Amino acid sequence: MNINFASTSQIGARESNQDETGAVLGKHSACFMVCDGVAGTEGGEMAAQLARDTLLAEFREEHPITPDETGRWIHLAEEAILGAQKVNPHLKRMSTTLAALFIDRDDQRAWWTHAGDSRVYHFRRGFIHAVTRDHSLAQQMRDAGYENTGINSNLLYNALGAEGTQPVSNSEALPLEDGDAFLVCTDGFWCSLTPQEMEQALRMVNSPQEWLALMQKAINRSEKKDNLSAVAVWVGSPQDTTLFQSMTDSARFLPPRD
């Protein structure tokens, strides 16, 4: 099973970048993740780094993985954050979002885990097939059928290391198809793009690097406020089934006319 990936992490309009990305592509398995230190409390950058480093330290490139095993890694990542909180009282409220994609290359299946408002998008045949649901007040209100206009989308009820943290959300293991694509990203990345724009960008490119670059061009035309990070993952050859251009739908990705 051929897998290609690309990643990006930018500071946006912030004074520092509290995002972390991670990727390991092994012979039998693969792992791709983003972590976004929760703003407003000291130590968000450290929490994100601890979560990423702990997960990557557990990963063995030449060994198969299972959902139970990756679940234990997530627990270890949170324990590392909680342990650091106890050592330094100034960091007692530090926390981070997490979105992590795991792939078993031997059995050709994938699953993902997330906490907070970092997301995993799964694209199949050029269209969004699944996406994680944010652990946020805005998402809760939307799910309950209430108007959430004006609600601060950064109000989270779950993050690694946060007080009263709830269990992370885990997907079922999904059989992969040739041409599947994934986008693992922080809120600073996805909030500037509609799902339709993500799909359209996917249909206009030949590689995950080009996909990220094209979406970045669209983001650059919006008002960037937050850090923005993403990992794009391609299984097989998505471009074989998705590569085409619609001039109407692709307008945001094309340079303006004189």
Instruction: Report, as an integer, the average pLDDT of 70-76.
Output: 96
- On whether residue 141 sits in a domain, the answer given is yes
Both tokens assigned to 25: 């592509």
Predicted TM-score (pTM) of this structure: 0.89
- On whether residue 246 sits in a domain, the answer given is yes
- On whether residue 171 sits in a domain, the answer given is yes
Expressed as residue numbers, the domain containing 92 is: 3-253
Go through 61-86 and write b for each residue having 16 or more CB atoms within 10 A of its CB, e for each that does not: eeeebebeebbebbeebbebbbebbe
Domain total for the chain?
A: 1
Q: Give me the amino acid identity at 167.
A: P
* DSSP 8-class letter at 20: E
Q: Model confidence at 256, in pLDDT bands (50, 70, 90)?
A: low
- On whether residue 219 sits in a domain, the answer given is yes
Residue pLDDT, tens place only, 167-195: 899 999 999 999 999 999 999 999 989 99
Residue pLDDT, tens place only, 1-54: 899 999 999 887 677 788 999 999 999 999 999 999 997 678 999 999 999 999
Q: Model confidence at 245, in pLDDT bands (50, 70, 90)?
A: very low
Q: Residue 246 above 70 pLDDT?
A: no
Q: Give 139 or 178, the one with higher predicted confidence.
A: 178
Calculate the average pLDDT of the chain: 88
Q: What span, in angstroms and rounded, lies between the C-alpha atoms of 158 and 200? A: 31
**Which residues, in sequence order, are CB contacts of 129 under 8 Å at separation 6+?**
122, 123, 180
Instruction: Report, as an integer, the average pLDDT of 225-237.
Output: 91
Q: Which residues partner with 128 through β-bridges?
A: 123
- On whether residue 61 sits in a domain, the answer given is yes
* Inter-residue contact 46 to 36 (CB < 8 Å): no
Residue labelled with tokens 């008002």: 223
- On whether residue 258 sits in a domain, the answer given is no
- On whether residue 22 sits in a domain, the answer given is yes
Both tokens assigned to 234: 């391609």
Provide the CATH number for the domain around residue 207: 3.60.40.10
- On whether residue 237 sits in a domain, the answer given is yes
